[in-house]
C-alpha cells in the first residue's frame, strides 16, 4: 500500500509512474514476486503500458517521417497552390473531429463519467491555450530569423530544440535524467546535426550574435511549449486523453482561424476556402492531424524525451526512404550522424536502468 | 592475502591489475579500510600508478599533437630534402640510446638485477621483431591503397584502426570492455571521422571493394601490431620497461636499416647520410623518438585503449593549435566531432566503474 501511495503521488506530480513502477519491479525481492496475484497483475499492467508507449512512439516516428516525405513530394509537384492557413485550420478541425469520434465510441462503451466527460472547469481549461500561444510566437519569430540565417542554416540551428527540451524537461517537469542519459541527449543533438551536414553548413558558424539569440529563444519557446503540453496532459493522469486533446485543439482552431482571417481573408473570400487543394494536400492534412494526435499520445503515455528521440529517428528514416523514392544520395556525414544517434538511443535505454 | 594472489595472477594474465585494484578499493567495506596500514599503502600505490598512467598518457597526447604540427610546419617550409629512411633509422637509434641512458641511471641507483639486466633469453626476445614486421607489411600496403583511395580518403579510412584495435584488444588480450565502453569506442570512431569531414569526404563512399578490403586489412595489421606490443610488454610486468624498449627498438633499427639500404643506398652514398637535414628535421626526429617511447610507456602502464583515446585527442588538439599557428579554419563538423569524442571519453571513464 505504501508503494501504491508513493506511486500515485508521483503520478500526479510528474507522471513518471511507469518508471517508478518499472524500477520497483526490478528491485523487488524474488520472494514477493511469487507472493500473490497483485504483483502479477502489476507486471501485466506494466507490460500493457510499455506496449502502449511503444505503439504511440512508433506511430509518431512513422507519421513524422512520412510527413517530411509528403512535403518533399508536394514540393516536387510544384509550389503550394492552396493557402497554408486554411490547411492549418483544417488540421486542427480534423484533430478535434477525430478526438470527438474517439470520445463517442468510449461513451458508448463505458458511459459518460468524471474522466471522459467533455464539460470542464475554468481551472482545468485555462492553461490549454498557452502552448498554442507559445507556438504562435515561435512561428512569428521564424519570419525574422531568416534575416540572419539561411534556410539550411536554420535547419541546423533547429537542433538546439533537442537540448532546450532536455533542459526545460528537467527544470519544469522536475524529472531526472541519469548522467548517461544526458550524455545520450548531447549525442542526439550532435548526431542529428552531423546527419544534416552538407558543403554549405559551415556558413552557420558566421551567424551574427542576434541570429544566435533568436535561435536560442526559438528553441526555448518550442521546448517550453512541448514541456508545458506534457505538464497539462500529465497533471490529470486519469482524465481521458481525447478530452484533453479536444480542448488543446479547440484553442488551436481558434488561433489558426485568427491567423487565416488576418493573412488570407481576401484569398479565401475570392477564391474559396478549398481553392488549390489537391489529393496530396488532403493527404498532408490527414498526416499532420494524425501526427498531432500521436504527439499528444506520446506526451500522455511517454514524455518529451521520447518525442525528441522519435522525431530524430523520423528525420533519419525520411532520408533513407528518400533514397528509394527520390534518388537522394546519402552522405558520409549522414552515416556518421546515424551511428551517433543509434548509440544515443542505446545509451538512453541503458541509462534508464542506472538512474 | 587472497586478494593479493588474485591480483598477481591477473597482472600476469592480462596486466589489468590497476583496474582490479581500483574496483577492489571501490567495493571494499568501510570497516576494512581503516583496519590496517596495508590498505592505506595500497591506496597510496594505486594513486602513484594512476599518476604515472596520467603522466605518460598526457605526454603521448602532447607529443603526438606536436608531431602533426611539426609535419605541417615542415611541409610549409618546403618538401622533404632529406631521405625519409635515414630519418626513420635515426628515430629508432635515438630511442635505443634514450633507453640505454635511462637504464644506465637505473643501474647506478639500484644496481643490476633480474628485472633490469639487458641480457635476455631467446624465449623472451623471439617475439620482439613481430610488431616491427607487422608495421613493415602495413607500410608496404600503404603504397598500394592509393591506387583505390586518395590521401584525404585514406585519412578517413584510417579511423577503422580505432575499431580494429578495440576488437583485437578484446580477442587477443582477452580484456573486457563494458557495454558502455564499447558504445564509447564506436562514438570515438564516429567522432574522429566527423571531425575530419570536409567537402570532398563523400568521395570515400565511392571506394571500390578492393580499397575497402585493403583498408580493413591495414587497420587489422596496425591494430594487431599495437595489441601484440602490449602483450609482449605486459607479459613480464616486473621487467624494466627500458630493457623491453631496447629490444623492441633494436629490431626497429634493423628493419629500418634494411629499408634504407634498399630504397636510398645511392642517395646516402652520394650525398651523405645527413644530407638535407635541417633544424626542423632534427626536431621531428626527437619528437618521433619521444612519442615512440611514450607509446611504449602507455602500453606498459595503461593499454591500447588509452593509447587510441590519447592519439584521438591529439588529433583534435592539433587542429585547434593549427588555428592559432597557421590560421586554419575550424568547421562545424570539427565542433560536432569534438563534442562526440568528448562524450566518448566521459562514457569510457563512467563505463569503467560499471563493468
Does residue B78 carry a pLDDT above 80? no
| CA separation for the pair A341, A61 (Å, rounded) | 14
Cα distances (Å, whole numbers) of residue A80 to A72, A74, A101, A126, A281: 12, 8, 30, 36, 9
Backbone angles phi, psi at B115, to 5 degrees: -85, -30
Q: Are B305 and B177 in contact (CB under 8 A)?
A: yes
Asked if the Cβ–Cβ distance from A197 to B336 is below 8 Å, we say: yes
Distance from CA of B54 to the nearest CA of A (A): 24
B194 reaches A (C-beta below 8 A) = yes
pLDDT band at B203 (very low <50, low <70, confident <90, very high): confident
Residue from the list B193, B197, B340 with its beta carbon closest to the beta carbon of A190: B340
> ipTM strictly over 0.85?
no
pLDDT digits (tens, 9 = 90+) for B13-46: 333 333 333 333 333 344 444 445 567 788 888 8
Asked if the Cβ–Cβ distance from B197 to A333 is below 8 Å, we say: yes
| Nearest CA among A24, A88, A15 for reference residue A259 | A88
pLDDT digits (tens, 9 = 90+) for B147-168: 888 878 888 888 999 999 999 9
Q: Are A340 and A192 in contact (CB under 8 A)?
A: no
B195 reaches A (C-beta below 8 A) = no
If you measure CA to CA, which chain A residue comes closest to B205? A332
pLDDT digits (tens, 9 = 90+) for B52-70: 999 999 999 999 888 888 8
Q: Up-side HSE of residue B310: CA atoms within 13 Å toward CB?
A: 25
Instruction: Give pLDDT, residue B37.
Output: 57
Asked if the Cβ–Cβ distance from B333 to A191 is below 8 Å, we say: no
| CA separation for the pair A232, B55 (Å, rounded) | 53
In a mutational test of the B interface, the residue from A340, A347, A348, A354 whose CB has the highest number of chain B CBs within 10 Å is: A340
Asked if the Cβ–Cβ distance from A333 to B186 is below 8 Å, we say: no
Chain B hits for A193, CB-CB cut-off 8 Å, are: 332, 336
Asked if the Cβ–Cβ distance from B187 to A350 is below 8 Å, we say: no
A343 reaches B (C-beta below 8 A) = yes
- What does the block give as the cell for A101? 469520434
Chain A hits for B199, CB-CB cut-off 8 Å, are: 199
Instruction: Give pLDDT, residue B187.
Output: 97
- Three-class SS of residue B298? helix
Q: Are A141 and A266 in contact (CB under 8 A)?
A: no
Instruction: Give pLDDT, residue B280.
Output: 86
Q: Which of A80-89, B116-125, B229-238, B346-355 is modeled with the greatest confidence?
A: B229-238
Residue from the list A186, A187, A332 with its beta carbon closest to the beta carbon of B201: A332
Instruction: Give pLDDT, residue B2.
Output: 34
Asked if the Cβ–Cβ distance from B336 to A193 is below 8 Å, we say: yes
Chain A hits for B186, CB-CB cut-off 8 Å, are: 339, 343
If you measure CA to CA, which chain B residue comes closest to A185? B343
| CA separation for the pair A34, A197 (Å, rounded) | 54
In a mutational test of the A interface, the residue from B180, B200, B330, B343 whose CB has the highest number of chain A CBs within 10 Å is: B343
Residue from the list B183, B186, B333 with its beta carbon closest to the beta carbon of A333: B333
Q: Are B95 and B252 in contact (CB under 8 A)?
A: yes
- What does the block give as the cell for B169? 584488444
Q: Are A118 and A127 in contact (CB under 8 A)?
A: no
Distance from CA of A182 to the nearest CA of B (A): 10
| CA separation for the pair B29, B52 (Å, rounded) | 27
B204 reaches A (C-beta below 8 A) = yes
Helix axes B17-27, B2-14, angle to 10 degrees: 150
| CA separation for the pair B85, B267 (Å, rounded) | 11
Chain B hits for A202, CB-CB cut-off 8 Å, are: 329, 331-333
Chain B hits for A341, CB-CB cut-off 8 Å, are: none
Low-confidence ranges of chain A (pLDDT < 50): 1-35
- Three-class SS of residue A294? helix
- In total, the C-beta contacts within 8 angstroms joining chain A to chain B are 81
B350 reaches A (C-beta below 8 A) = yes
User: Domain segments of chain A: what residues?
Assistant: 2-354
B187 reaches A (C-beta below 8 A) = yes
Which stretch of A97-101, B106-110, B272-276 has the lowest confidence by average pLDDT? B272-276
Residues 229-258 of B with CB under 8 A from A: none
Asked if the Cβ–Cβ distance from A343 to B187 is below 8 Å, we say: yes
| CA separation for the pair A276, A56 (Å, rounded) | 33
If you measure CA to CA, which chain A residue comes closest to B348? A180
- CA B258, B243, B175: angle at the middle one, nearest 5? 95
Distance from CA of B246 to the nearest CA of A (A): 41
Asked if the Cβ–Cβ distance from B194 to A194 is below 8 Å, we say: yes
Asked if the Cβ–Cβ distance from B332 to A204 is below 8 Å, we say: yes
B23 reaches A (C-beta below 8 A) = no
Does residue B326 carry a pLDDT above 60? yes
Helix ranges, A28-159 (H) = 30-33, 37-76, 84-110, 122-125, 129-145, 151-157
Instruction: Give pLDDT, residue B311.
Output: 92
B72 reaches A (C-beta below 8 A) = no
Q: Are B296 and B115 in contact (CB under 8 A)?
A: no
Residue from the list B191, B201, B346 with its beta carbon closest to the beta carbon of A183: B346
Instruction: Give pLDDT, residue A12.
Output: 34
Instruction: Give pLDDT, residue B10.
Output: 35
Which stretch of A153-162, B32-41, B108-117, B286-295 has the lowest confidence by average pLDDT? B32-41
| CA separation for the pair A190, B329 (Å, rounded) | 20
Phi-psi region of B82 (alpha: psi -120 to 50; beta: other; left: phi over 0): beta
If you measure CA to CA, which chain A residue comes closest to B200? A199
Amino acid at each position: 500500500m505504501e508503494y501504491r501511495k508513493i506511486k500515485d503521488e508521483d503520478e500526479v506530480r510528474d507522471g513518471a509512474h511507469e518508471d517508478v513502477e518499472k524500477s520497483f519491479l526490478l528491485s523487488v525481492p524474488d520472494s514477493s514476486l511469487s507472493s500473490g496475484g497483485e504483483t502479477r497483475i502489476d507486471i501485466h499492467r506494466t507490460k500493457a503500458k510499455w506496449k502502449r508507449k511503444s505503439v504511440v512512439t512508433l506511430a509518431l516516428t512513422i507519421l513524422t517521417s512520412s510527413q517530411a516525405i509528403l512535403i518533399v513530394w508536394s514540393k516536387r509537384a510544384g509550389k503550394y497552390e492552396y493557402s497554408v492557413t486554411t490547411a492549418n485550420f483544417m488540421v486542427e478541425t480534423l484533430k478535434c473531429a477525430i478526438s470527438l469520434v474517439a470520445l463517442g465510441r468510449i461513451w458508448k462503451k463505458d458511459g459518460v463519467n468524471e474522466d471522459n466527460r467533455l464539460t470542464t472547469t475554468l481551472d482545468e481549461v485555462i492553461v490549454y491555450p498557452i502552448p498554442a500561444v507559445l507556438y504562435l510566437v515561435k512561428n512569428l519569430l521564424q519570419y525574422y530569423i531568416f534575416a540572419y540565417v539561411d534556410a539550411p542554416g536554420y535547419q541546423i540551428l533547429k537542433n538546439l530544440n533537442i537540448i532546450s527540451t532536455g533542459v526545460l524537461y528537467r527544470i519544469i517537469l522536475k524529472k531526472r535524467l541519469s548522467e548517461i542519459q544526458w550524455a545520450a541527449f548531447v549525442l542526439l543533438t550532435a548526431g542529428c546535426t552531423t546527419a544534416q551536414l552538407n558543403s554549405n553548413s559551415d556558413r552557420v558558424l558566421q551567424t551574427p550574435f542576434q541570429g544566435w539569440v533568436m535561435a536560442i529563444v526559438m528553441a526555448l519557446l518550442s521546448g517550453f511549449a512541448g514541456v508545458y503540453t506534457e505538464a497539462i496532459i500529465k497533471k490529470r493522469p486519469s482524465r481521458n486523453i481525447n478530452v484533453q486533446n479536444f480542448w488543446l485543439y479547440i484553442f488551436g482552431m481558434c488561433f489558426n482561424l485568427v491567423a487565416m482571417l488576418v493573412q488570407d481573408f481576401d484569398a479565401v473570400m475570392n477564391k474559396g476556402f478549398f481553392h488549390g487543394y489537391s489529393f496530396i494536400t488532403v493527404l498532408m492534412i490527414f498526416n499532420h492531424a494524425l501526427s498531432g494526435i500521436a504527439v499528444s499520445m506520446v506526451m500522455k503515455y511517454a514524455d518529451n524525451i521520447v518525442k525528441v528521440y522519435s522525431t530524430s529517428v523520423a528525420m533519419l528514416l525520411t532520408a533513407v526512404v528518400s533514397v528509394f523514392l527520390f534518388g537522394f544520395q546519402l552522405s558520409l556525414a549522414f552515416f556518421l550522424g546515424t551511428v551517433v544517434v543509434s548509440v544515443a538511443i542505446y545509451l538512453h535505454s541503458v541509462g534508464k536502468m542506472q538512474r
